[in-house]
Structure 1
Amino acid sequence: MSTEKALALVVRGTDWSETSRISTLWTREFGKVRALAKGGRRLRSNFEVAFDLLTVCHIVFIHKHHGGLDLLTEAQVGERFPHLRTDLTALYAGYYIAELLSDGTQDFDPHPALFDAAVAALRAFGAVGSDRAGQVSAFELVWLRELGYSPRLESCTGCGREYSFPHAAGVRVGYSPTAGGIVCPDCGPTARDARPLSAAAWTALGDLARGGQTLGAAPRREVRLLLGQAVSAVLGRRPRLLGYVDAG
């Protein structure tokens, strides 16, 4: 066993007993950590009020290398996102991020860029006039990239034919979530889930992949549908919160 310190985002919590709680934490240093906080439900403990979902905490935990739950010994609040308590659509978007971090990643598989993207998105949700659909889409692309499923947007996933980006006028390609990117007109019929990809959506996906945070009005619905399908293909199911996010 070893004692570790980390910066963590609370992505799930379950009551374990009258006094203890199990928390799933996405840490910048170690990735996903599941830990038991003995006495965590008591009014006076070493955990302040750090168990609210989507709270950033500084934690200390004992890592049990043989497996099983780790032991959380200390948690202090580092950052909260108060706008999530007053904006229901922002809260749903935050819960969606928590679902992808909790259910779509492996224990102790660190991805600092994914932690940073999650916290950046939670902060951005509170900005006046922010493009929440664009911010959620940008996070999904980081999640896909860090898990090794970054969509191929500049070459056909079937034959490898390359396209300049943004693509040349008149080129018609499709997008296949299971293939993980675009398919050319020749390979499109072999990809059962391929659907036509508009020029506006193709360009928007490329902008987001390069660090953009906004979606234009024209490709918004199409990009959200495509990324939802891509995330679902990797996760093996449709995320529970995805419908709430896109309804907002």
Structure 2
Amino acid sequence: MAGTVQQEPAYVLHRRPWRETSLQVDVFTLNAGRQSLIARGANSAKSPLKAQLQPFQPLLLDWTGRSNLKTLTQAEVRSGPSLNRTTALYSGLYINELLQRILPVADPHPSLFAAYIDVIAELALTDDVEPVLRRFERSFAEALGYSFAWDMATDTGIGVEAGQSYCYDPEQGILQRPDRNVRLRRLSGDTLLALAEGDLQSPECRRTAKRVMRVLVDYLLQGRPLHSRSLFSHARREPNES
């Protein structure tokens, strides 16, 4: 999206200092996808933008420019949920890092933007973040063309059967007869069928969904680390956090 943009729904994914008093802000927007904006003077004490350009805050943004690095001209803050719990905050940072590191620049995904709004609202309300994260990861995979069905083996075209063992590969999905280079093995057919029914509560379903989505995310990252993962390790060591 080039030229001048006005009143674009957006969320801040990440921000960092730029030159002496400005900020470079990576945002996820409804109609322009991921964008990088320069907020001039926003890193100074007198600028209201420093408080406005916060992660998880619904925004309406104006910007101008035709290069990959555009200039923010106005920001309007809208009301939205707050991620006050530590685990919810870390989960939100994980989602933001996924979008920032993997989502192509200027590639709109309106359905993923809607899923992002939903996941922030859900994280604000629950202590049980795992099902919320798994559902968003599925939406993320679908937006990038890596969707698959839990109950269908793509290599054979045959539905998953209880009592059988399966594998997962990011490029192919669930497999019944994989080659030796497949990334994830020994997935229970019973568990895959339960996941196809939406079960994200049983321990085995949670473990399997997490393993599968971890393999997919690592594949999409192509060896780059996710710094937000270390936050979850820290949170698990805090006895007062769920």
CA drift at 1:115: 1.1
CA drift at 1:48: 6.7
Tell me if structure 1 keeps the 8 A contact 2:162–2:193.
Answer: no
Counterpart CA distance in 2 for 1:68 and 1:194 is: 37
| Counterparts in 2 of 1:200 and 1:126: CA distance versus 1, 3 Å | farther
- Could you give the per-residue CA deviations for residues 39-73 of structure 1, whole angstroms, max 9, x where no partner exists? 11234446372222222211001131xx2310100
Give the total of aligned pairs: 232
Tell me if structure 2 keeps the 8 A contact 1:150–1:180.
Answer: no
Counterpart CA distance in 2 for 1:242 and 1:151 is: 24
The reply to whether residue 173 of structure 1 matches residue 170 of structure 2 is: no
CA drift at 1:18: 2.9
Alignment partner of 2:143 out of 119, 131, 146? 146
- Could you give the per-residue CA deviations for residues 128-160 of structure 1, whole angstroms, max 9, x where no partner exists? 4x53101100000000000001124343333x3
TM-score (norm 1): 0.83
Q: Read off the aligned partner of 1:2 and give its amino acid letter.
A: G
Alignment partner of 1:242 out of 212, 217, 229? 229
TM-score (norm 2): 0.85
| Counterparts in 2 of 1:180 and 1:152: CA distance versus 1, 3 Å | farther
Gaps in structure 1 of 5+ consecutive residues: none
Q: What is the aligned partner in structure 1 of residue 201 from structure 2?
A: 215
Tell me if structure 2 keeps the 8 A contact 1:48–1:77.
Answer: no
Counterpart CA distance in 2 for 1:102 and 1:203 is: 32
Q: Read off the aligned partner of 1:206 and give its amino acid letter.
A: A
Q: What are the within-5 Å matches in structure 2 for residues 54-69 of structure 1?
A: 54-64=56-66, 67-69=67-69
Tell me if structure 1 keeps the 8 A contact 2:151–2:192.
Answer: no
Q: What is the aligned partner in structure 2 of residue 162 from structure 1?
A: 158
**Equivalent position SS for 2:118:** helix
Counterpart CA distance in 2 for 1:226 and 1:70 is: 37
Tell me if structure 1 keeps the 8 A contact 2:10–2:27.
Answer: yes
- Could you give the per-residue CA deviations for residues 195-241 of structure 1, whole angstroms, max 9, x where no partner exists? 11124531343245xxx8x4323321221121111111122135332
Alignment partner of 1:13 out of 4, 8, 15? 15
Q: What are the within-5 Å matches in structure 2 for residues 182-201 of structure 1?
A: 182-184=174-176, 187-201=177-191
Counterpart CA distance in 1 for 2:76 and 2:98 is: 24
Tell me if structure 2 keeps the 8 A contact 1:46–1:75.
Answer: no
Q: What is the aligned partner in structure 1 of residue 81 from structure 2?
A: 81
RMSD, aligned CA: 2.4
Counterpart CA distance in 2 for 1:241 and 1:40 is: 25
Counterpart CA distance in 2 for 1:72 and 1:243 is: 32
Q: Read off the aligned partner of 2:162 and give its amino acid letter.
A: A
Segment drifting more, 217-226 vs 52-61:
217-226
Q: What is the aligned partner in structure 2 of residue 132 from structure 1?
A: 129
